[in-house]
Structure 1
Amino acid sequence: MEFQKAKNKLYQKHMKHILLLTDFSESAKNATNYALQLFQDQASCFYMLHIPQKSVYTTSDLMAAGTSSIYNSLVKKAKTKLDKYVKTLESNSSNKKISFETIVDYDVLTDSVNQIISSKKIDLIVMGTNGVTGAKEVVFGSNTINVIRKVDCATLVIPKGFQYKKPHTLFLPLDQTDSLNSKAFLKLLSYVKTFKTSLDVVRVIPQDEGTPEAQDQEHLKTNLKDTTFEYQLVKNKNIHEVVAQYLNKNKADLMALLVQKETAFERFLTASDTKKISDDLKVPLFIFHSH
């Protein structure tokens, strides 16, 4: 009994708190399945969040509510569906070190996510891509874009239909403003070490100007003593072109971006050749926020 208590405390100390966003679409379900397999050897608590669209507020729902709270009636219906889904996930999982908690909310998505991050001490958000709704959202749908822009938490986006395979290589493209001496990079390294992947770093400098190569190499050697890594410097090309070429020629299992507001990620989304990138971007993408 004492041993089990000590074991449980150890699990809790190293437990990952992961927020899964679901609308019950195939894309969301695939992202959830990927996350469960990715963390299959980790002690993890998965918080499953569902925010029903207002279009599901049907007349029959309102009539069925009667004199009871309409809000409670709608939440109960959604919660029942979510709980049923989670029970299926639990029964199909062989990982005895995981737990689930379901959350139904009718708040604005990003407001709800931010509240949960604070109250549950979330380490990572996992979500799928969710459709194209505009020129800036060729790669990701609007919900994904809003989470990346407005939520300060590591996020893992899983491409629609991507089948899980154990990751061996993580690809990190950097533009001239990205720093390896940042909290964002240290967060990335924690996942590199957790998954025991190698790291391929490509620094992209659009023009033939001064480079931080020596500094980059120093940071990598200092922080990746037990990790295999490669470093490459590319000049006179844009980051979109380099990403496309790399993903076409190499077998990366994960990709990461160090996102700075209104800089690299915005350019990644709005550049004229983003459509080509979206066609080639077939690996899960980590987003880490720089400050």
Structure 2
Amino acid sequence: MRKILIPTDFSENAFNAIKFAIDLFKYEISEFYIMHAYQDEIYESEDLIDESDVKKVTETVSNSSKTSLERTLKTIKTISPNPKHTYNIISANNMLIDEMDAIVDDKNIDVIIMGTKGKTNDKKITFGSHTLQVIKYVQCPVLAIPENYKYTQPKHILFPTNYLIPYKRRELKLLCEMASTYRAVVDVLYISVSDKLSLRQKDNQKFIKEELHKTTLNFKIANSKHIINSIYQHIKENDINMLVMVNTRHSFLENMIYQSTIDEFGLNLDIPFLALQNIKRY
């Protein structure tokens, strides 16, 4: 059974991510956890003036959270009465990252799906701060859905890699099953000024080949030192409709997240983005 965690702030963008998740896994027996972490809302409330107000404001925000989750669940079941899907709602007086971490561990979540922006994110920024925090700190694959993205079956997936890290079997299995369900083609793109691979790189390439055996793989090379430009160019020239990268030490994504600005990292992405974490989980 596929286990999917979806955080929501009840924005249109958040519900769009829920709809995407439902469509993406419509053929799989799946359990969805729709969660709202509201601790920030308590302390940002205009009704909170001193400590004596905390209990009252907490109760109000908590009730609103539960009501909104119930309403969201009702809407989901109306638009997608899929017998393969079951749903759980979680309302938590906690910080978003802490609550997601706890749920990932407790429920053994396979993938987090979320919108790239919430209610308050800057329209000029491709990835909102919450999305980047989740990608950085929550130990689970994250599929980020762009604002206003209309669901499209993932038919052509781009997977840039430097082959320097041994990938984790569980995470590649997730990618393999998502891709094979829709008979997607996966372009494995090596971006380097040299087209030669070391023995370690060849071993890692072989592992990718073995783990993605159910899919059609195209191993490609971009002779360049400009990673972001090469990825963006490949997306535009090859009608890519999902980007997959790995967030770990010595990876392309680590360099982009920690050394680039958010705008540069965003790549002007208007397609779903799957960030694997390369963490050994069972």
Change over 3 Å in CA distance of 1:217–1:279 after alignment to 2: closer
Tell me if structure 1 keeps the 8 A contact 2:33–2:88: yes
Deviations 1:113-134 (A, max 9, x none): 0111122221110001126979
User: What number of residue pairs does the alignment pair up?
Assistant: 272
Q: 2:230 aligns with which of 242, 245, 249?
A: 242
Match of 2:21 among 17, 20, 35: 35
* Aligned counterparts of 2:110 and 2:170: Cα–Cα separation in 1: 14
Pair 1:187–1:81, CA change in 2 (3 A): closer
1:286 equivalent to 2:274? Answer yes
1:108 deviates by 1.3
For 1:94, which of 62, 67, 81 is the aligned residue? 81
5 Å matches for 1:1-291?
15-52=1-38, 53-54=41-42, 57-59=45-47, 71-130=58-117, 138-175=125-162, 177-179=164-166, 184-205=171-192, 207-208=193-194, 210-212=196-198, 214-215=202-203, 218-261=206-249, 263-269=251-257, 275=263, 278=266, 280-291=268-279
Distance 2:188 2:107 in 1: 32
Distance 1:187 1:178, change over 3 A: farther
**Ranges in structure 2 where 5+ consecutive residues have no aligned partner:** none
Give TM-score, length-normalised by structure 2. Answer: 0.83
Q: Deviations over 1:123-178 (max 9, x none)?
A: 110001126979xx944111111111111101100011110011112110113534
The residue type equivalent to 1:98 in the other structure is: H
The AA in structure 2 aligned to 1:188 is L
Contact 1:259 1:287 in 2 (8 A): yes
For the pair shown, the structure with the greater C-alpha radius of gyration is 1
**Any conservation in 2 of the 1:158–1:284 contact (CA below 8 Å)?**
yes
Q: Which moved more, 1:214-223 or 1:92-101?
A: 214-223
Could you tell me how far 1:70 is from its partner in structure 2?
A: 5.7
> Using the alignment, how far apart are the partners of 2:261 and 2:108 within structure 1?
37
Q: Any conservation in 2 of the 1:178–1:258 contact (CA below 8 Å)?
A: no
1:202, distance to aligned residue in structure 2 (A)? 0.3
Q: For the structure 1 residues 172 and 288, does the alpha-carbon distance in structure 2 shift closer, same or farther, using more than 3 Å as the test? A: same
State how far apart, in whole Å, the 2-side matches of 1:105 and 1:181 are. 31
Partners of 2:47 and 2:263 lie apart in 1 by: 40
- C-alpha distance 151-217 of structure 1, shift in aligned 2 (>3 A): closer
* CA-CA distance at 1:214 after TM superposition: 4.5
Of 15-24 and 259-268, the range deviating more from structure 2: 259-268
Distance in 2 of aligned mates of 1:176 and 1:262: 10
Q: Distance in 1 between matches of 2:260 and 2:11?
A: 29
1:148–1:155: 8 Å Cα contact kept in structure 2?
yes
Is the Cα contact below 8 Å between 1:139 and 1:275 reproduced in 2? yes
Instruction: Check whether the contact 2:224–2:230 (CA below 8 A) recurs between aligned residues.
Output: no
Relative to 1, partners in 2 of residues 1:195 and 1:277: Cα closer, same or farther, differing over 3 Å?
A: same
How far apart are 1:39 and its partner, in Å?
1.1
Question: 1:197 Cα deviation (Å)?
Answer: 1.8
Structure-2 separation of matches of 1:85 and 1:197: 31
Q: Which runs of 5+ in 1 are unaligned?
A: 1-14
TM-score relative to the length of structure 1: 0.80
> Runs (4+) of structure 1 moved beyond 6 Å?
131-134
Tell me the distance in 2 between the aligned counterparts of 1:35 and 1:252: 19
The 3 A distance-change label for structure 1 pair 225 and 133 is closer
State the Cα RMSD in Å.
Answer: 3.2
CA contact (8 A) 2:157 2:187 kept: yes
**What's the offset of the Cα at 1:210?**
4.3
Q: Return closer, same or farther for 1:81/1:221 CA change in 2, 3 Å cut-off.
A: closer
166-175 or 273-282, larger mean C-alpha shift: 273-282
Q: Percent identity?
A: 26
**8 Å contact 1:243–1:277 — kept in the other structure?**
no
Amino acid at match of 1:94: P
Q: Aligned-pair distance for 1:209?
A: 7.2
Alpha-carbon distance in 1 for matches of 2:190, 2:66: 46
User: 1:20·1:48 contact (CA, 8 Å) conserved in 2?
Assistant: yes
Give the letter aligned to residue 253 of structure 1: N
SS of equivalent residue, structure 2 residue 139: coil
Say whether the 8 Å CA contact 2:7–2:113 is kept in structure 1.
Answer: yes
